[in-house]
């Protein structure tokens, strides 16, 4: 049973560029959350997707956007990259059962470096 997968593993961009990160959830999971982990810090919640809609959002600007596809996979897009966007981007998947909230399982992350 494959766990959460993310691509690419590493990415280098320059300021002002745009980037797309991808995530495939664990089998049987329907919900994807994205987190940003700056060096030496804990992950910060960006947003969560369920039924192809953004359901909750953390304190991140509109430059951060996402999408969820019918097969539950998800993309994170960041526009107009800033140096401060350099971080490890983590995807977590879970099941959003009626009346229950399942544990979130994390992928290995995508390391984004902005020069």
Partner 1 sequence: GNSVTQMEGPVTLSEEAFLTINCTYTATGYPSLFWYVQYPGEGLQLLLKATKADDKGSNKGFEATYRKETTSFHLEKGSVQVSDSAVYFCALRGPYSGAGSYQLTFGKGTKLSVIP
User: Could you give the C-alpha distances from 87 to 3, 35, 51, 78, 100, in angstroms and in order?
Assistant: 22, 10, 27, 12, 31
String of contacts with partner 1 for each residue 10-49, x by CB under 8 A: ---------------------x-x-x----xxxxxx--x-
- The whole-angstrom separation of Cα 58 and Cα 37 is 13
- Rank residues 48 and 74 by Cβ distance to partner 1 and give the closer one: 48
Long-range contacts formed by 58-65: CB under 8 A, 24+ apart: 60/36
Indicate whether 105 belongs to the interface with partner 1 (CB under 8 A). Answer: yes
Q: Which of residues 45-104 bind partner 1 (CB under 8 A)?
A: 45, 48, 55-56, 58, 90, 92, 96, 101, 103-104
Q: Is the peptide bond before 61 cis (omega within 30 degrees of 0)?
A: no
Question: Which parts of this chain interact with partner 1 (CB under 8 A)?
Answer: 4, 31, 33, 35, 40-45, 48, 55-56, 58, 90, 92, 96, 101, 103-109
């Amino acid at each position: 049973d494959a766990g959460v997968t993310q691509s690419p593993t590493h990415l280098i961009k320059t300021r002002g560029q745009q980037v797309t990160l991808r995530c495939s959830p664990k089998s049987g999971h329907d919900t994807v959350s994205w987190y940003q982990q700056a060096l030496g810090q804990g992950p910060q919640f960006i947003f969560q997707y369920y039924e192809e809609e953004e359901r909750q959002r953390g304190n991140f600007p509109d430059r951060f956007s996402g999408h969820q596809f019918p097969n539950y996979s998800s993309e994170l897009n960041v526009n107009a990259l800033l140096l401060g966007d350099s971080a490890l981007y983590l995807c977590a998947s879970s099941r959003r059962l009626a009346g229950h909230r399942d544990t979130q399982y994390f992928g290995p992350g995508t390391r984004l470096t902005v020069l």
